[in-house]
Chains A and B, each alone.
Chain A
Amino acid sequence: EVQLLESGGGLVQPGGSLRLSCVGSGFTFGSFAMNWGRQTPEKGLEWVSGISAVDGSTFYADSVRGRFTISRDDSKNTLYLQMNSLRAEDTAVYYCAKGHSIGSWLVDFWGQGALVTVSS
């Protein structure tokens, strides 16, 4: 059974930093592209970032490029999202999301999510 367990969410002040982690199990982690998405009631679902399993190439939404960094440690079955210079509009539930295949950006499984609140 595929499982994705996010951690690291919480309350942070504007301008601050936070690192999310996601441990995957039930599948061969290193064989799949991985993603982060987020959701708010106001803006709905939004893809944030993705990382290839082929060559580690990374991709970002314009709204987070230059502030967020996605990375993965396949030896630990873990995906990370380093979030810097956080803004109020980054407040959301952040989901770790598994790609459908090694090079596919289709998400076929989402974790339960971690709440990030950016507020003073």
Chain B
Amino acid sequence: VVTQSPGTLSLSPGESATLFCRAGQTVSDNYLAWYQQKPGQPPRLLIYEIFRRPTGIPDRFIGSGSGTDFTLTISRLEPEDFAVYYCQVYGISPRPFGQGTKVEIK
């Protein structure tokens, strides 16, 4: 089981967002990812192996954590960052996702 908090974050552009993800057991091999999803679109990979960013992902997206507790920080929210964010533990079956955190414009 993967649990995300809070359910919703209401923030203004330019502010920072901190999203939390807790795994039911220690995440092995750092196999923890974050995805961003906007309405009508598929998820997009933002972070993998806790803190690594794929090519093209801005450095304002910062992943951190260890063990069972992980954080996604979005510094200086841009208008395009308002979306739903999911974490996933992908090293174990059934590769569970969290229920998501919605970052909305305040």
What residues of chain A have their CB less than 8 Å away from a CB belonging to chain B? 44-47, 50, 59, 61-62, 95, 100, 105-113
Contacts and interface: CB of A to CB of B under 8 A. Distances in A.
Interface residues of B, number: 22
B90 A61 contact: no
Contacts of B42: 95, 110-113
A62 B94 contact: yes
Contacts of B95: 47, 50, 105
Nearest to B54: A108
Contacts of A107: 33, 43, 45, 90
A106 B97 contact: no
Nearest to A98: B45
Contacts of B93: 59, 61
- Give chain B's interface secondary structure class: loop
15 contacts: A44-B99, A44-B100, A45-B35, A45-B86, A45-B97, A46-B97, A47-B96, A50-B95, A100-B48, A106-B90, A107-B43, A109-B45, A110-B42, A110-B43, A112-B42
B23 to A, nearest CB: 15
Interface of B: 31, 33, 35, 41-45, 48, 54, 86, 88, 90-91, 93-100
A114 to B, nearest CB: 11
Contact of A105 (B54, B90, B99, B100): B90
A106 B94 contact: no
A47 B43 contact: no
A107 B48 CA distance: 9
